[in-house]
Chain A
Amino acid sequence: MRPSNGPRPIGGRWRRRPHLSNDSKSRLAAIGRRMLPFQAAGEEPGRYGVLRRNMTLLMILLTVVPLSLMAFINHREHRKALRAQTEAPMREILVRTRHSGEIFLAERRSAISFITSASTYEQLADQAELNRIFQVMKQEFGGFIDVGLIDASGVQVSYAGPFELVGKDYRDQEWFQEVLVRGTYVSDVFLGYRRYPHFVIAVRHLEPDGRSWIVRATVDTELFSGLIGSHGNVPGGDTFVVNRQGVLQTSSRHYGAVLERVPLDLKDAGLEPLITETVDRSGRPAFLGMAAFETVPFVLLYVEPRGTAWEPWYTLNNELFLVFIASIVVVFLVAYRLASSSVSRIEKSEENQRRALHEMEHGNKLASIGRLAAGVAHEINNPLAIIDQKAGLMMDLTENIPGFHLGPRFGELASSILNAVDRCRTITHRLLGFARRMDVEIRDIDVNDVLQEVLGFLEREALHRGVQIQLELDAELPAIASDRGQLQQVFLNILNNALEAMPEGGKVVIRSWRPDEEHVSVSIEDNGSGMSQETMKHLFEPFFTTKAPGYGTGLGLSITYGIIKKLGGEIQVDSELGKGTTFFVTLPMRASPEMGA
């Protein structure tokens, strides 16, 4: 079986043909994996994974942290600005409303004060006169429910209003004690005898002669409520007054009617308006403004739902948040992709470096083994020559002594010494690459011709072994400048190996093609026994042989490798045990001119 394009060498200076079938590609990949000795060593797994992860994390950290920080600061500052923007009008409303409330109370207090001071006790005690004064009060100020005179002992002397209160004794009541001490008194709102919400203003008058009396008026809460509630009519806004215990003194839109208790924390309320955030009755976020009254123990409250003012901010915030999330996602993706591509580039370049290093090491190793072997061969040649001559002389001598009964025996012994020397000579001479023709001849040669010549030498051998030889030579192959004799030796060595790998017959396919403008390639593929990875590793080393001792020097492929390198080419091998072996030889169009020893 053979793919349509045939196997192509990978790597090195060889360019692949562009039109490879998938089958060929996967086969190429397999070749790349199995190709020894230039296979890169296995790397520790996960090293690049860790690098990729760290790079990704670092990039994400470097982008997400500032982004988040910026988003956070932006959010906070924006909120702060918006809050300031919200607070200013709230403060104004609080101050204005409180002011109105204070004026309302002050007016009423002043009115009572005026009546108390401008009238005599007798006038006030006169029911008709009091009625008249009450009518004027109702006309001028509004909100008064009744008015009455109480003497120093706390007994109601006269009364103008809807109830019958004359004679009622207030002596033991708290407000009475307070008004005696302080001079004026404003009560909290209460229901009292009258059974509807009102509050009381009482003012004491002290005559120079020591006599004193008290005028006490009741004010309707409704007017006060209306006044307070009329402020802050932002949609959803709510202004109302509570006492220090949180009991409503005016009605609230959301917190209920007068005298109900509101669940708000008032302990921080002071003269200076204070704005806090809270949730309103319906659970929505709201701003709560509070400011204490100066003259009465009341607190003005103003609740404004946050939604109305902050709607645009929330919309913007949501949009920004979406943008933020999208950015984070993009950052993640980009960081991962960037890290991945960087790491795979690093991986690739390290792989290449390792490959190059490995190749170089292998070349160096072969070169130093070669030098070592040559040195040994040189040293051995001289003593070997002595043995050769001595044994030769022994042989000569035994032949020349007639009648020496041990002659034939000695001759035999000498002959076997000479045979052994011959074997050694073969080894040392091959090691030294010794050839009678010293000068390398670079001529224009046709590689196809050289292959045909070599096949000429081997035809009989192939026939004898039952090996079929198939040629797929590129007829357009250009002539290259190289050494014919050396190339003959190269192809002879490879083909000999191929034939020896197929003791029971088989098939050898020889191909030639042009991988690019600068090179010519030859592959020799057999379907013989193939080689193990271990064998492939040592394939080009001198003295490495799989043959039985005495049957091979282990130098053939080492010399082949040396020649190819000398001629500026490349040799690679792909093999699989039991399937066969393919040698790839690539030669430059012009062999390098330096032809060292």
Chain B
Amino acid sequence: MKRWKALLVDDEEEFVATLAERLRLRGIVVEVATDGQDALARLDEVDPRVVVLDIMMPGVGGLAVLRHIRENRPDVAVILLTGRGTTKEGMEGMRLGAFDFMMKPVRIEELIARMIEAVEKSRPEQPGGAE
């Protein structure tokens, strides 16, 4: 199976760096962006199959990033992972085409399971979820 990449986007560096390290330990190729702008700038360069995206971020927020990805890269699955999001924002994210909405703190096994699921369900030849 071809190796796929994940992009973690979160302004909480302590969190995202550690999460990235742990995912790498589990053999997942991970890149990290610490704000929305950075994520969008590096989207094509990193070319991830799945983006794990925080909602509340300074500058370009998670939902804006999600909207951009759904419009420009419908082949990329997005999992919303947030500590401060409300269910309202979660629902909004789902409506915009996020693959899933998860709340911090999340069990790493669960996250990985959802990432794999997302990758499998959103192959480039059959993009799913977008309206």
Question: Residues on A close to B: CB < 8 A?
Answer: 374, 378-379, 381-382, 384-390, 392-393, 396, 400, 421, 424-425, 428-429, 432-436, 438-439, 596-597
How distant is the Cα of A393 from the Cα of B15 in the complex, in angstroms?
A: 11
The chain B residue with its CB closest to the CB of A380 is B83
Cβ contact within 8 Å between A393 and B104: no
Q: How far is the CA of A160 from the CA of B63 in the complex (A)?
A: 156
- CB-CB under 8 A from A396, the residues of chain B are 22, 25
**Chain B 86-99, CB within 8 Å of chain A: the 1/0 string?**
11101100100000
User: Bound complex: CA of A105 vs CA of B90, how far in Å?
Assistant: 133
Asked whether A432 lies within 8 Å of B87 as measured between CB atoms, the reply is yes
> When the two chains form their complex, are residues A389 and B19 in contact, meaning their CB atoms are under 8 A apart?
yes
Apart from A385-B15, A596-B88, 5 more pairs, CB < 8 Å: A382-B104, A384-B104, A392-B22, A393-B22, A393-B25
| Contact across chains for A385 and B12 when beta carbons are under 8 A apart | yes
Which residues does chain A contribute within 8 Å of B91, judged by CB atoms? 438-439
B14 touches A (CB below 8 Å) = yes
Does B27 interact with chain A (Cβ within 8 Å)?
no
Say yes or no: A597-B103 contact (C-beta < 8 A), given A382-B12, A382-B15, A386-B14: no
Given contact pairs A382-B12, A597-B87, A597-B88, A389 touches B103 in the complex (Cβ within 8 A): no
Q: Determine how close the nearest CB of chain B comes to the CB of A131; give it in whole angstroms.
A: 149
A121–B88 alpha-carbon span in the complex (Å): 151
Answer whether residue B106 sits at the interface, using C-beta atoms and an 8 A cutoff.
yes
Tell me the complex Cα distance, A390–B16, Å. 10
Flag whether B18 is at the interface (Cβ < 8 A).
Answer: yes
| A-contacting residues, B72-87, CB 8 Å | 82-84, 86-87
Which residues from A are CB-within-8-Å of B106?
A: 385, 388
CB of B117 closer than 8 Å to a CB of A: no
CB neighbours (8 Å) of B83 from chain A are: 378, 381-382, 384-385
Q: Which residues of B have CB within 8 Å of A596?
A: 88
- For residue B120, CB closer than 8 A to chain A, the reply is no
Q: Is the CB of B105 within 8 A of A388?
A: yes
Closest to B83 in A: A381
Question: DSSP class of A's interface residues: helix, strand, loop or mixed?
Answer: helix
Partner of A386, one of B18, B25, B88, B100: B18
B104 near A385: Cβ-Cβ < 8 Å: yes
Residues of A within 8 A of B100 (CB): 436
Among A378, A392, A434, point to the contact of B108 (Cβ < 8 A). A392
A213 CB to closest chain B CB (Å) equals 145
The answer to whether A390 touches B105, judged by C-beta atoms less than 8 angstroms apart, is no
Q: Size of chain B's interface in residues, with CB distance under 8 A? A: 24
16 contacts between A and B (CB under 8 A): A381-B103, A382-B12, A382-B84, A384-B105, A388-B104, A388-B105, A388-B106, A389-B18, A390-B18, A392-B108, A396-B25, A425-B105, A432-B103, A438-B94, A596-B88, A597-B87
B91 to chain A, nearest CB (A): 4
Interface centre among B25, B91, B94, B103 (most CB of A within 10 A): B103
B21 in the interface, Cβ–Cβ < 8 Å? yes
Question: What's the minimum C-beta distance from A428 to chain B, rounded to whole angstroms?
Answer: 8
- How far is the CB of B53 from the nearest CB of chain A, in Å? 14
Give the docked Cα–Cα distance between A432 and B90 (Å).
12
CA–CA, A378 and B103, complex, Å: 10
Report yes or no: A379 in contact with B18, Cβ–Cβ below 8 A.
no
Q: How far is the CB of B58 from chain A (nearest CB, A)?
A: 13
Neighbouring B residues of A390 by C-beta, 8 Å: 14, 18
Closest to B54 in A: A382
Choice from A384, A386, A428, A438 contacting B87 with Cβ under 8 Å: A438
A378 and B84 form a contact (CB under 8 A): yes
Q: How long is the Cα–Cα vector from A388 to B103 in the complex, in angstroms?
A: 13
Complex alpha-carbon distance, A379 and B86, angstroms: 12
Closest 10 CB pairs of A and B: A381-B83, A385-B104, A389-B18, A388-B105, A382-B83, A385-B105, A438-B91, A378-B84, A597-B88, A381-B104
Contact B90 A438 (CB under 8 A): yes
Q: B86 and A597: CB pair below 8 A?
A: yes
Q: Is the CB of B84 within 8 A of A381?
A: yes
CB pair A393 B21 closer than 8 Å: yes
For A436, what are the chain B residues with a Cβ–Cβ distance below 8 Å? 100-101
Contact A400 B25 (CB under 8 A): yes
> Which of B15, B22, B104: most chain A CB closer than 10 A?
B104
Task: Provide the residues of chain A in CB contact with B19, threshold 8 Å.
Answer: 389
Quote the shortest CB–CB distance from B130 to chain A (angstroms): 18
Complex interface: chain A residues within 8 A of B18 (CB): 386, 389-390, 392-393
Q: Tell me whether A386 and B12 are in contact (CB under 8 A).
A: yes
Q: How far is the CA of A433 from the CA of B104 in the complex (A)?
A: 14
Q: How far is the CB of A378 from chain B (nearest CB, A)?
A: 4
Provide the residues of chain B in CB contact with A379, threshold 8 Å. Answer: 84
In angstroms, Cα B87 to Cα A550, docked, is 26
A421 to B100 CA separation, bound complex (whole angstroms) = 22
A393 to B26, CA, bound (A): 11
Cα distance A392–B25 in the bound complex, in angstroms: 11
- Distance in Å: Cβ of B118 to nearest Cβ of chain A: 14
Per-residue contact bits, chain B 23-46, to A (CB 8 Å; 1 contact, 0 not): 001000000000000000000000
CB neighbours of A429 from chain B (8 A)? 103
Rounded to whole angstroms, the CA-CA distance of A379 and B85 in the bound complex is 10
The smallest beta-carbon distance between A591 and chain B, in angstroms, is: 17
Shortest CB–CB separation between residue B57 and chain A, in angstroms? 12
Decide yes or no: A434 and B103 within 8 Å by CB, A386-B15, A389-B19 being known contacts.
yes
For residue B104, which residues in chain A have a CB less than 8 angstroms away from its CB?
Answer: 381-382, 384-385, 388
Please give the distance in Å from B87's CB to the nearest CB on chain A. Answer: 5
A residues within 8 A CB of B12?
A: 382, 385-386
Min CB distance B8 to A, Å, is 11
Q: Which of chain B's residues have a CB closer than 8 A to the CB of A386?
A: 12, 14-15, 18
Assembly CA distance A429 to B90 (angstroms):
13
Complex-state Cα separation, A439 to B87, whole angstroms? 9
> A435–B87 Cα gap in the complex (Å)?
9
Please give the distance in Å from B17's CB to the nearest CB on chain A. 9
| A251–B83 alpha-carbon span in the complex (Å) | 127
Instruction: Kindly provide the distance from the CB of A439 to the nearest chain B CB, expressed in whole angstroms.
Output: 6
B44 to chain A, nearest CB (A): 28
Closest Cβ of chain A to B93, distance in Å, is 9
A56 to B120, CA, bound (A): 84
- A392 surroundings in chain B (CB, below 8 A): 18, 22, 108
Q: Report whether B103 and A421 are in contact in the complex, using a CB–CB cutoff of 8 Å.
A: no
CA distance A390 to B103 in the complex (A): 17
CA distance A386 to B91 in the complex (A): 25
